[in-house]
């Protein structure tokens, strides 16, 4: 299954608040970007001034996603939504012309 993740925090809970982007807290907070054996992170995009990131990830179930994002959920709002691959669905229906 594919999931769309919106992860955000604010300036008060920002891991880079003390020590900047090179801080150990930032390295640890962003560890979820690497995925794990149960969750494949397909892409992550961020807008640092708004302290917000967006990701597309793939996992067989939601529990694996929740486990991966647990530390992120502790520092800010994290929204996870299952999404469909509309291109794959169109191709499966035989509606893809190229």
How do the domains of the chain map onto residue ranges?
Answer: 2-92
Question: In the predicted model, is pLDDT for residue 40 greater than 80?
Answer: yes
What SS3 string covers the chain?
CEEEEEEECCCCCCCCCCCHHHCHHHHHHCHHHHCCCCEEEEEEEEEHHHCEEEEEEEECCHHHHHHHHHHHHHHCCEEEEEECCHHHHHHHCCCCCC
Give me the CATH topology for the region 2-92. Answer: Alpha-Beta Plaits (3.30.70)
Give the mean pLDDT of 54-69: 97
What is residue 25's predicted lDDT score, i.e. its pLDDT?
A: 84
d(CA 1, CA 8): 22
Label residue 20 by pLDDT band (50, 70, 90): confident
User: For residue 6, what are the CA distances in angstroms to 21, 29, 50, 55?
Assistant: 20, 15, 12, 7
What pTM does this model have? 0.85
Question: In the predicted model, is pLDDT for residue 78 greater than 80?
Answer: yes
Q: Which of 65, 61, 24 is nearest to 41 (CA)?
A: 65
Mean pLDDT of the chain: 93
């Amino acid at each position: 299954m594919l999931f769309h993740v919106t992860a955000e925090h604010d300036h008060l809970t920002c891991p880079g608040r003390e020590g900047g982007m090179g801080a150990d807290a930032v390295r640890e907070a962003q560890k979820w970007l690497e995925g794990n054996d149960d969750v494949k992170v397909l892409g992550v995009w961020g807008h640092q001034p708004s302290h917000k990131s967006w990701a597309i990830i793939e996992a067989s179930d939601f529990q694996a996603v929740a486990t991966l994002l647990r530390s992120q959920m502790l520092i800010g709002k994290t929204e996870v939504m299952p999404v469909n691959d509309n291109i794959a669905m169109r191709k499966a229906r035989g509606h893809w012309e190229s």
